Amino acid sequence: MAAFRDMWSRLTDPSRHALDLAQERSKATGADCVDTEDVVVGLLAERDGIAALALRNLGLGTEEAIAHARGQRAAGEERAAGTTRFSRPVKMALECALQEACFLGQQQVDTEHVLLGLLRTMSVFPDSAFACVVGPDDQLRLRSEIHVLVVSRDLRGGA
């Protein structure tokens, strides 16, 4: 729990905004928790973020993510409306996002770290919506694409 609070305090504005959008989307669909598909849609909404760029370069646009998420929710059991919380896969992904940022020597958790966190949870939660969309080959491609985009941003003098 402490790691989760620490991660939340280190979120960049784009990451926080993506998670806020994920919460809004989850509430709008009547879900009682924010799941991986909500986070992906939130990350994609941050169009200039490394995560959105990497996902789009991989060919996963917002329409595909929303369509797949709707299919996942429709196939699953009905969730009661209520206080929106984060699902276990999302909590783990966010804790992993903090670890990814620390591993890369960065103080803040940006959108690419959240996406890397989602990738790390796929082996633990293979039935999550994100894991159903992103296969093993795509995992490697996404990690590579994130690396290329971060290096490119850093060479341009970005954050």
Closest Cα to residue 34, out of 55, 103, 42?
42
pLDDT of residue 31: 86
DSSP of 14-32, one letter per residue?
Answer: HHHHHHHHHHHHHHHTT-S
pLDDT at 98 over 90: yes
Per the structure block, which two tokens stand in for 145? 């694409």
The total number of structural domains that make up the chain: 1
- CATH number of the domain enclosing 71: 1.10.1780.10
pLDDT surpassing 80 at residue 75: no
The pLDDT confidence band at residue 69, using thresholds 50, 70 and 90, is low
Amino acid residing at 76: G
pTM for the whole structure: 0.86
Show the domain range for 128: 2-155
